Structure 1
């Protein structure tokens, strides 16, 4: 009996998720914007293992962004990050920096996009 159990247990482990395609279909790109303008960074991901789209979050300079803290920032349903009325002064540059998108699927994990450098032209 144990010999017959072994193949069934190994076949069930091979049916558990091994390699799953979870990739970005759209990643943020380096961008130059202007003070007072609108910054738009795109991010979309997909997986063949999930019916629901992944949840998208954004990091700026390695820190997770909260759209609640800054009312100028808004994340659209498709994952795009919008920053309205870009702020830039000699000593205050909250919108300039390096942005990354994190896509997460429950039960699968997260992937991190390329780093997009945002520069505000003077």
Structure 2
């Protein structure tokens, strides 16, 4: 049985009132803003691509951790020979192979920013395409 939204709000408000949570006990609001997000790129075979990602975080002492996903799979940039994360958080893809190459780099890339204990947020997707030869 689904509870209508107004009832959920009423139940939440009543439970908060009854538990007497003070405003000082609530965690501060945390804001994550992408200063630079990855943008789509069309490349020639053998060229390099840099996908930008930089963020600004307010309201926490936690250091943001930047991770990358390609087609919703997290990348292991430590072990990948052609994809490396630059110190500023951006992703460097070197020597992009032709589209049909096994392990090609065509796909949708997203920058994910994680804050320990708070969660993560992802950028919009950026397509990397290599027209190459079919």
Which residue number corresponds to residue 111 of structure 1?
121
Q: Alignment RMSD, CA only?
A: 1.8
Deviations along 1:17-55, one digit per CA (max 9) or x if unpaired, are: 2x3211211100011111100011000112112345411
Structure 2 CA distance for partners of 1:53 and 1:85, relative to 1, 3 Å: same
The number of residue pairs the alignment matches comes to: 113
Structure showing the higher strand proportion among its residues: 1
Deviations along 1:58-114, one digit per CA (max 9) or x if unpaired, are: 000110011233211110111110011111143536211100010111122211000
1:29 is aligned to 2:39:
yes
Equivalent positions of 1:1-122 (< 5 A) are 6=20, 9-14=21-26, 16-17=27-28, 19-51=29-61, 53-90=63-100, 92=102, 94-122=104-132
Q: TM-score, normalised by structure 1?
A: 0.81
Distance 2:82 2:131 in 1: 19
Gaps of 5+ in 2: 1-19
Ranges of 4+ aligned residues in structure 1 off by more than 6 Å: none
Q: TM-score, normalised by structure 2?
A: 0.75
Gaps of 5+ in 1: 1-5
8 Å contact kept, 1:45–1:53: no
